[in-house]
Structure 1
Amino acid sequence: MADTYESASVEISDHVARVTLLGPGKGNAMGPAFWAEMPDVFGTLDDDPDVRAIVLTGSGKNFSYGLDLPAMGAAMPGLDAGAADRAGFHKRLQKMQGAITAVADCRTPTIASIHGWCIGGGVDLVSAVDIRYASADAKFSVRETKLAIVADVGSLARLPLILSDGHLRELVLTGKDVDAAHAARIGLVNDVYDDADASLAAAHATATEIAANPPLTVAGVKDVLDQQRTARVAESLRYVAAWNSAFLPSKDLAEAVTAMFQKRPPQFTGE
């Protein structure tokens, strides 16, 4: 069985579904289709009794470059945004958060196989799965910080449940790039494999092992584990949505985006 969306392809075989990110932005960047389709992708798979585990990966050379800024930039409020514009942004942001939460709330176990770049929204996405494998060439960055954005669709809510506090703060306060070996050392990924094919094979092997277990019990294990974190994550997401709706528009944000497209170092002023 196979199904295709604009932002992802879905293939199902032997009780395991594989969701492959397709973009359509460069590097599987997350544009409007991604945010609209993810709840349906994972909701449909979760409702399918034939699916007992889900593998998530990216097409091409990278997992995901994260938010598709050219496609989504217009959704951000400007410096002169009034209350109505900020309220509208708050509503759109909550819907985007819901796209990642749909992955986290899936009762079917999820395993990510990450290769190449996993930036910004890509980290938000993999923070929502149960198990993470990476190829040796994988690189991770909570890049929002360097773009004058407080990461707001899941990383700051879910990474505290994955990483120790010091490693988390180093990652998110610097916005620096870390390689797969470093990601494994700090617990961001479970294991590192030689290449993308080996990482994907390992993810499918784990998915097959999970799928062999009694499905109601597996769903129950996920439900009990997640019960301990659901309220905490939801509270964090509500807080950051309100914070960014109030404070995201800034001269530093405009400077970060301009500098990125002009391929020059940004000059931040704290305004």
Structure 2
Amino acid sequence: MSGLRIEERPDRLVVTLDRPEKRNAIDADLIAELHQVCAELEAHPRLLLLTGGAAGIFAGGADISQLRERGRTDALAAINSAAFARIRALPMPTVAAVDGPALGGGAELAYACDLRVCTARAVFGQPEVRLGILAGAGATHRLPALIGEGRAKELLFTGRRVDAAEALRIGLVNRVVDEPGELLTVAHAVLDEIALGSPLAVRLTKLAVDAPAAAHPHLDLVSQAVLFEDEEKHRRMTEFLERRRPR
């Protein structure tokens, strides 16, 4: 892959955006590569860590030179939004590790992940209205879900940027690290915590949380019924009880 660097680990993929000369701008080739990553994780479910590399930038947005030339049929093709929706729907949890700017489509890529960890110099923003378009790759519905309708509308209407401290305060990110060199360590630690759980329980929990309200409580009941019959559940509960048993 030319726009991504991939590191495979037994329980996760580490995917690094690798277009530093373009500020990791998201173009059609990068979107095609993200689809390949999704296909791999759909076929072989694992955790995902998505980061922007060591250049001090996560992603500066869509490639404006390409975006300027797109017409209505390109918009209806959902070029970016389809890839981001696929990331959002991956079977296992995803973490975005954000250092520096995550703007426009870059911010929407981060929103598509389940969790976000960032450095103190991270910046998020949706400048689309200032370019004559809207944030059409997920921000109009994912941002309100993350930070509330009022705050989301302000950011989408004005294009105002949010620094790391505000992002943490309003719930846009889960953790902030002071030093860029600590970012991946902390992001991996979050995934390590997730990996302590039963993979099937984690997968079904994500499915339940992401399901529409109408699916509850039926989805929860069916998922729990599956887990109650899982050998992993019996093993883990037996180990828990044996640890608590008086010696």
Fold shared by both chains (TM-score > 0.5): yes
Q: Does 1:125 align with 2:119?
A: no
> Which residue pairs with 2:52 in the alignment?
58
Identify which of 182, 188, 195 aligns with 1:198: 182
Map residues 136-147 of structure 1 onto 2, 5 A cutoff: 136-147=120-131
Contact 2:144–2:151 at 8 Å: present in 1 too? no
Identify which of 51, 66, 71 aligns with 2:66: 71
Secondary structure, aligned partner of 1:74: coil
RMSD: 1.9
> Which residue pairs with 1:113 in the alignment?
97
Secondary structure, aligned partner of 1:30: coil
Q: Quote the offset at 1:73 in angstroms.
A: 2.4
> Which residue pairs with 1:257 in the alignment?
none
> Which residue pairs with 2:232 in the alignment?
none
Larger radius of gyration: 2
Segments of 5+ residues of structure 1 without an aligned counterpart are 78-85, 232-271
Map residues 24-173 of structure 1 onto 2, 5 A cutoff: 26-49=22-45, 51=46, 53-59=47-53, 60-75=55-70, 77=71, 86=72, 88-92=73-77, 94-173=78-157
Q: Quote the offset at 1:197 in angstroms.
A: 2.2
Listed one character per residue, the Cα deviations across residues 83-102 of structure 1 (whole Å, up to 9, x for unaligned) are xxx3x22443x232111111
Paired residues, number: 214
> Which residue pairs with 2:196 in the alignment?
212
Structure with the bigger RCO (C-alpha within 8 Å, sep 6+) is: 1
Contact 1:22–1:58 at 8 Å: present in 2 too? yes
CA distance in 2, matches of 1:201, 1:64: 20
Contact 2:58–2:106 at 8 Å: present in 1 too? yes
Contact 1:16–1:211 at 8 Å: present in 2 too? no
CA spacing shift, 1:14–1:28, aligned 2, 3 Å:
same
CA distance in 2, matches of 1:17, 1:181: 28
**Superposition TM-score, scaled by structure 2 size:** 0.81
Contact 2:28–2:79 at 8 Å: present in 1 too? no
Instruction: Name segments (4+ residues, structure 1) moved above 3 Å.
Output: none
CA distance in 2, matches of 1:223, 1:175: 32
2:126 is aligned with what amino acid?
A: V
Segments of 5+ residues of structure 2 without an aligned counterpart are 216-247
> Which residue pairs with 1:10 in the alignment?
6
1:174 is aligned with what amino acid?
A: T
Secondary structure, aligned partner of 1:29: coil
